[in-house]
């Protein structure tokens, strides 16, 4: 049986060129539909977006080339710089709180229980859409009737206009999205925790190390590659904040929550300034690519830790 | 078609649930108690909003303000659900503080089902085919093309969405199912990446054996690779369906018309149509709850698989 297979392999090697051509043809057929989708809906629009950013285009009349006009306008556009700043605040709060809480949650689950039910429960918010999540929290954080303000009043605080106050709006939106994504992030980290050999923990425990010491000396260092991956995923994702803003504040109060994506949307679909919207998109893309590059470098650097 | 021997021995069995024999119970400690309290608190924060959603959905919107702090329904009624499902008369709806505006829930539900199902079928099949070519077949340019696919993961959706909108508009596909479905139908980089990881792990001997039996690449893919990968295919399908179901940005752009409007867009529209001064919170919460039911049911059916699949993507 084995020798027959070997003979067959040798024969296959002799037929190699023909088989290679056949294999290539099959591969191209297999890739074709995905390739079509890739070219039409990812590659081409990327190039076209780049082109549109150098034009004046309102969707009704053909795009007319306008050189760097959109970009010079961008540099002087205070609303744009504000939107970048607001987005940065959002990313910072969202990622900071989410990473910390998810790490805590993952470690708690890992060290306390093996229950799949608990793991399922923490994932529940991830299953409902951004729109539903936004509406739900908009209601709970309502100034007059919301349960959150009601509970604040029980402990003697004044009500807070979570979505209506310039200082509170971005932190609130950030926390709403932490609530939705916490479980997912925690499970990613949990997966990383499971790859750490339990013997390491037991050896440390035998040596008399406490939980806190084990966490900082063993868990955290060994988790670094996973944490880097999680950060790549969540940071890129958090720059894309849109749905929550669109449903709750629509950029307000004033421009306090006018994040970049919402500003792009606003320029394109409320003011029909597609050229300018594309230019902002290009800048956002460049920022994201930069962030991803830096993070991938970190990720590579982290890979050597564990093998 | 059954000529291909199914190499059942080589079939990777799903990983056995990790179950270590319970050791001696750890002694009670304050730290451990605190840890449990912290975990319990996090679970409460996760679940409480769902309870609040249900409590509001079963309240009479007209008197909701009288007991804003009660965790039980205020003046218990199923009216909000009747409003959402369209079985309440306009007078009944207005009596309970609804706007009387119709929410054509069943239409939106049908649209969501059509759109999500089509996206799931197309995306999973075509992504699996591409993943097979990337993982199992040798062809010139393979790595370059795969790298291009992965790079697409970085492109922010908003960047491609404007040109895609123009394209869909020029094709005359605004407010049609194909227009809503198209960008997600053929692939997502994530789906290709996800399945490729799994296909890479399948032993090559299985294919060699089938090839000796005279099976072509298509038969190998459909008769061996796909059946062997039923677990990751199922999890990817569930994740794809949930994502498609929850998608808001794109259908909001190209599917505003009632006839093709999906639930997320309808919910947002319902929200903006209720008066700012006295919103129909009970109706809204009933609607959000009903809109979340299908994904919840999917989760009940495939919960363990989804949980495991996220770990699968996390590890590799």
The predicted-structure confidence for A89-112, as pLDDT tens digits, reads as follows 999 999 999 999 999 999 999 888
Contact A191 B312 (CB under 8 A): yes
Q: Quote the crossing angle between the two packed helices A274-303 and B157-170, to the nearest 10°.
A: 140
Pairwise CB contact (< 8 Å): B292 & A288: no
A135/B271 Cβ within 8 A: yes
Instruction: Provide ipTM, 2 decimals.
Output: 0.82
A64: β partners: A56
Which residue, among B311, B307, B127, B117, has the nearest Cα to B233 in the 3D structure? B127
Hey, are the CB atoms on B268 and A246 less than 8 Å from each other? Answer: yes
Closest CA to B114 of B306, B294, B272: B294
Q: Measure B10 CA to nearest chain A CA, in Å.
A: 16
Query: Digits of tens for pLDDT over chain B (316 positions)?
Result: 333 333 333 334 444 444 444 445 556 678 888 999 999 999 999 999 999 999 988 988 877 777 777 788 887 887 788 877 776 666 666 666 666 555 688 889 899 999 999 999 999 999 999 999 999 999 998 989 988 887 787 677 777 888 898 899 999 999 999 999 999 999 988 889 888 878 887 888 888 888 888 888 888 999 888 988 887 888 888 889 988 998 988 998 899 888 999 999 988 888 777 666 667 888 888 888 888 888 888 888 877 777 776 665 544 3
To which residue do tokens 């770990």 refer? B311
Going by their DSSP bridges, the two strands A55-56 and A64-65 should be labelled as antiparallel
pLDDT of residue A105: 94
Q: Which two tokens stand for residue B168?
A: 């869909």
Global confidence as pTM? 0.81
Q: What distance in Å separates residue A298's CA from the closest CA in chain B?
A: 16
DSSP A64: E
For residue A108, what pLDDT is reported? 92
Cβ–Cβ gap B47/A277 under 8 Å? no
Distance CA B185, CA B178 (A): 9
Determine which helix (DSSP H) or strand (DSSP E) holds B76, and give its type and residue range. none
Q: Which residue from A minimizes the CA distance to B155?
A: A285
Considering only alpha carbons, which residue of chain A is nearest residue B241? Answer: A127
Tell me the average pLDDT across A282-292: 85
For residue A25, the model assigns a pLDDT of: 92
Of A33, A112, A192, which is closest to B39 when you measure between CB atoms? A112
* Residue B13: per-residue pLDDT: 43
Within 10 Å of residue A256's Cβ, how many Cβ atoms? 20
- Tens of pLDDT along A209-221? 787 888 888 888 8
DSSP state for residue B225 in the 8-state scheme: I
Answer yes or no: do A179 and B64 touch at CB < 8 A. Answer: no
Among candidates A80, A248, A267, A246, which has minimal Cα distance to A165? A248
- What would the mean pLDDT of A228-239 be, rounded to a whole number? 80
* Assigned token pair, A2: 């084995």
- Residue B7 is predicted with a pLDDT of 37
pLDDT at B11: 39
Unique residue bearing structure tokens 């054509």? B104
Assess contact for B231 and B167: CB atoms under 8 A: no
Residues of A in contact with B39 (CB under 8 A): 105, 108-109, 112-113, 118
Cα pseudo-dihedral B206, B210, B213, B217, rounded to 10: -150
- Residues of B within 8 A of A23 (CB-CB) are 137-139, 217
Q: What is the pLDDT of residue A196?
A: 80
Please tell me the distance from the alpha carbon of residue B201 to that of residue B195, in angstroms, as a whole number: 10
Residues of chain A with Cβ-Cβ distance to B32 below 8 Å are: 112
Helix (H, G, I), strand (E, B) or coil at B259: helix
Of B155, B164, B252, the CB nearest to A285: B155
Q: Inspect the interface and report whether the beta carbons of A38 and B271 lie closer than 8 Å.
A: no
CA distance B264 to B295: 13
d(CA B186, CA A38): 8
Record: contact A281-B158, CB cut-off 8 A = yes
Three-state DSSP string of A246-302: HHCCCCCCCCCCCCHHHHHHHHHHHCCCHHHHHHHHHHHHHHHHHHHHHHHHHHHHH
Compare CB distances from B311 to A118, A137, A187 and report the shortest one's residue: A187
Q: What is the DSSP track for A87-149?
A: HHHHHHHHHHHHHHHHHHHHHHHHHH---HHHHHHHHHHHHS-HHHHHHHHHHHT-TTT-HHH
Separation between Cα atoms, residue B119 and residue B31, nearest integer Å: 48
Query: Are A144 and B137 an interchain contact pair (Cβ–Cβ within 8 Å)?
Result: no
The tally of CA atoms less than 13 A away on the side-chain side of residue B212 is 16
Residue from B15, B62, B163 to probe the interface with A (highest A Cβ count within 10 Å): B163
Do A31 and B130 count as a contact with CB atoms less than 8 A apart? yes
Q: How far is CA A224 from the centre of its chain?
A: 18
Chain centroid to Cα A112, Å, comes to 28
Q: Which of B24, B49, B52 to mutate to test the interface with A (most CBs of A within 10 A)?
A: B49
Contact B292 A129 (CB under 8 A): yes
Question: For position B310, what pLDDT does the model report?
Answer: 64
């Amino acid at each position: 049986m084995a020798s027959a297979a070997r003979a067959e392999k040798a024969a296959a090697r002799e037929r190699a060129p023909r088989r290679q051509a056949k294999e290539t043809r099959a591969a191209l057929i297999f890739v074709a539909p995905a390739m079509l989708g890739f070219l039409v809906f990812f590659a081409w629009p990327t190039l076209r977006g780049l082109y549109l950013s150098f034009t004046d285009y309102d969707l009704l009349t053909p795009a007319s080339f306008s050189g760097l006009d959109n970009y010079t306008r961008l540099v002087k556009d205070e609303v744009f710089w504000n939107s970048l700043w607001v987005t940065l605040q959002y990313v910072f709060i969202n990622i900071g709180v989410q990473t910390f809480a998810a790490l805590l949650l993952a470690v708690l689950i890992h060290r306390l229980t093996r229950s799949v039910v608990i793991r399922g429960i923490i994932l529940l918010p991830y299953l409902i859409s951004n729109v539903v999540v936004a509406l739900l929290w908009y209601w709970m954080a309502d100034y007059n009737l919301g349960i959150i303000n009601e509970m604040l009043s029980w402990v003697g605080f004044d009500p807070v206009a979570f979505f209506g106050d310039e200082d509170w709006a971005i932190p609130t939106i950030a926390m709403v999205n932490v609530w939705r994504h916490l479980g997912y992030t925690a499970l990613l980290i949990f997966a990383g925790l499971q790859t750490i050999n339990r013997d390491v923990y037991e050896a440390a425990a035998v040596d008399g190390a406490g939980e806190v010491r084990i966490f900082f000396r063993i868990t955290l260092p060994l988790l670094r590659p996973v944490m880097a991956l999680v950060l790549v995923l969540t940071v890129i994702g958090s720059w894309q904040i849109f749905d929550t803003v669109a449903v709750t504040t629509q950029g307000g109060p004033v421009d306090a929550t006018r994040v970049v994506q919402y500003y792009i949307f606003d320029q394109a679909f409320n003011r029909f300034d597609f050229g300018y919207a594309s230019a902002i998109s290009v800048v956002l893309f460049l920022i994201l690519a930069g962030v991803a590059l830096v993070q991938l470098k970190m990720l590579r650097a982290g890979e050597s830790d564990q093998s | 078609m059954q000529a291909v021997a199914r190499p059942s021995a080589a079939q990777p069995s799903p990983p056995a649930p990790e179950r270590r024999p319970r050791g001696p119970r750890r002694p009670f400690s304050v730290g451990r108690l605190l840890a449990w309290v912290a975990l319990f608190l996090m679970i409460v924060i996760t679940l409480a909003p769902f309870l609040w959603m249900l409590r509001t959905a079963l309240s009479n919107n007209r008197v909701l303000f009288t007991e804003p702090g009660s965790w039980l329904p205020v003046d218990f009624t199923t009216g909000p659900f009747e409003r959402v499902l369209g079985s309440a008369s306009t007078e009944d709806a207005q009596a309970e503080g609804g706007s009387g505006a119709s929410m054509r829930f069943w239409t939106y539900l049908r649209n969501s089902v059509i759109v999500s199902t089509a996206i799931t079928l197309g995306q999973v099949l075509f992504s699996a085919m591409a993943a097979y070519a990337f993982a199992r077949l040798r062809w010139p340019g393979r790595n370059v093309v795969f790298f291009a696919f992965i790079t697409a993961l970085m492109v922010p959706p908003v960047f491609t969405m404007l040109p895609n909108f123009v394209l869909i508009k020029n094709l005359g596909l605004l407010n049609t199912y194909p227009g809503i479905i198209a960008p997600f139908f053929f692939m997502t980089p994530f789906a290709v990446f996800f399945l490729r990881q799994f296909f890479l792990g399948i032993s090559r001997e299985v294919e060699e054996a089938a090839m000796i039996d005279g099976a072509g690449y298509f038969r190998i893919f459909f008769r061996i690779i796909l059946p062997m990968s039923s677990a990751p295919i199922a999890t990817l399908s569930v994740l794809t369906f949930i994502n498609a179901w929850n998608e808001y940005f794109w259908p909001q752009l190209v599917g505003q018309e009632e006839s093709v409007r999906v639930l997320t867009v309808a919910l947002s529209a319902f929200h903006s149509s209720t008066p700012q001064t006295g919103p129909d919170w009970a109706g809204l919460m009933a609607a959000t709850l009903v809109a979340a039911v299908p994904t919840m049911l999917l989760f009940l059916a495939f919960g363990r698989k989804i949980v495991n699949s996220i770990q699968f993507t996390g590890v590799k």
